[in-house]
Amino acid sequence: MFTTDSTPLVADVYSADCGSREIFGHVTSKWAVLVLAALAPGTQRWAELRRRIGGISEKMLAQTLRTLEEDGFVHREAHPVIPPRVDYSLTPLGAELAERLLPVVDWIEEHAVPLLAAREARQR
């Protein structure tokens, strides 16, 4: 990476003023993780994503897809047909990130019972 004056840019997500911190925040939101995981198997249409990701509002899905597209993780392809058709897929960067996030998603699903039990015990 380079800045505008060709000085090498060192990314540091621990630094409050580093742009990588903002991207880190984008990709670690619950909705972004779920969108990336849902797109990992392949191209999806809007309605397919909405059905797959329970509880996400239309506004939040649109915002999450837009942010992930702006950050270079998601590709949006609008087809000039009637009715309109838009496909979403992962870019190579998005596929690489999803590959790293899927084990976390799987781990959470595998450990949901003890995790939820620990939470419940703590709230008593």
Q: Which pTM does this prediction carry?
A: 0.87
**Any domain includes 10:** no
118 domain residue, yes or no: yes
Domain that holds residue 57: 19-123
Q: Is residue 11 part of a domain?
A: no
In this prediction, residue 2 carries a pLDDT of 46
CA 73 to chain centre: 8
Q: pLDDT tens-digit profile of 43-63?
A: 999 999 999 999 999 999 999
User: pLDDT value at position 32?
Assistant: 98
Average pLDDT, the chain: 93
Asked if 55 and 85 count as a contact pair (C-beta separation under 8 A), the reply is no
Q: Cα–Cα distance between 61 and 103 in angstroms, integer?
A: 23
Structural domain total, the chain: 1
Say which DSSP state 57 is in: -
Q: How far apart are CA 54 and CA 40, in angstroms?
A: 17
Q: Which residue has 């996030």 as its token pair?
A: 101
- The CATH number of the domain where 47 resides is what? 1.10.10.10
Domain assignment present for residue 110? The answer is yes
Give the mean pLDDT of 62-88: 96
pLDDT at residue 114 is higher than 90: yes
Q: Is 51 inside any structural domain? A: yes
